[in-house]
Amino acid sequence: MSHRVSAGFVFFVLSCAIVIAQERSGTTATQRIPQFENDSVKVWKSVIVPNGPLTLHRHDHGRTIVVLAGGDLKVVKESGETTVMHWETGKAYWLPPDPPGEMHKDVNDTGKTIEVMVVEMKAPPASAAVDRRPAVLPDGPGKSAVLKVCSECHAPEIVAAASRTRDDWARTLGDMAQYGAQGTEEDFTQILEYLTKYFSKIDALKDRLIF
């Protein structure tokens, strides 16, 4: 009697093992599993099983995708236009908001389940957009000194977020010098003039008040 095991039998056993393993892992349907939501973000886990597309939808906001189980995911627009996103396990990706009116579905035809955590941004509160100076430094005397001395530890544009009196700027410069900002006295004088001119609080009245 032959004890040779046929290749067909081995394949049968392996197939059973794979089916069992898939069932053990618990998720057999494409789904979104909500995680949490607050004023800033909405977070959910997307499980996209092979041949179980996420039906037509769109995203109004940008999303960070953290890939738990990677793969190539096809994004199919209503028009039929298809792009492939290559997602690596353990990496994160940014997806900008979809253009208005454009719908798509996500199709996984890789044979393996793709799992991602999606962190969707919400619109910032209106107040955040108000009263913000553009983060640019206007050209003027002293700008080069700012770029030279104030770029060491943070973006020099940090100054554009503030408006201060000359005294308060002098105090800020003192703080920065303490942190280790290095420049000549000439540099610091020029910087103080520059900041007072372009990022000042109009506080003239206060200087004229006599208490």
| Contact between residue 31 and residue 47 where contact means Cβ atoms under 8 Å apart | yes
Look-up of token digits 């201060």: 164
The reply to whether 91 sits near ligand HEC by the rule CB under 6 A is: no
Nearer to ligand HEC, 102 or 152 (CB): 152
Residues whose CB is less than 8 angstroms from the CB of residue 33 and which lie 6 or more positions away in sequence, other chains included: 44, 45, 46, 47
| Contact between residue 173 and residue 165 where contact means Cβ atoms under 8 Å apart | no
The reply to whether 96 sits near ligand HEC by the rule CB under 6 A is: no
Nearer to ligand HEC, 109 or 152 (CB): 152
The reply to whether 173 sits near ligand HEC by the rule CB under 6 A is: yes
Binding footprint of ligand HEC, residue count (CB under 6 A): 15
Cα 90–95–107 angle (5° rounding)?
Answer: 75
The CA-atom distances, in angstroms, between 28 and each of 62, 141, 151 are 28, 66, 53
Q: How far is the CB of 197 from ligand HEC (least distance, A)?
A: 13
Nearer to ligand HEC, 103 or 147 (CB): 147
Distance CA 61, CA 42 (A): 10
The reply to whether 85 sits near ligand HEC by the rule CB under 6 A is: no
Q: Name which position in 65, 118, 137, 150 contacts ligand HEC (CB under 6 A).
A: 150
Which residues of this protein are in contact with ligand HEC, per CB under 6 A?
149-150, 152-154, 158-159, 162, 172-173, 176, 179-181, 191
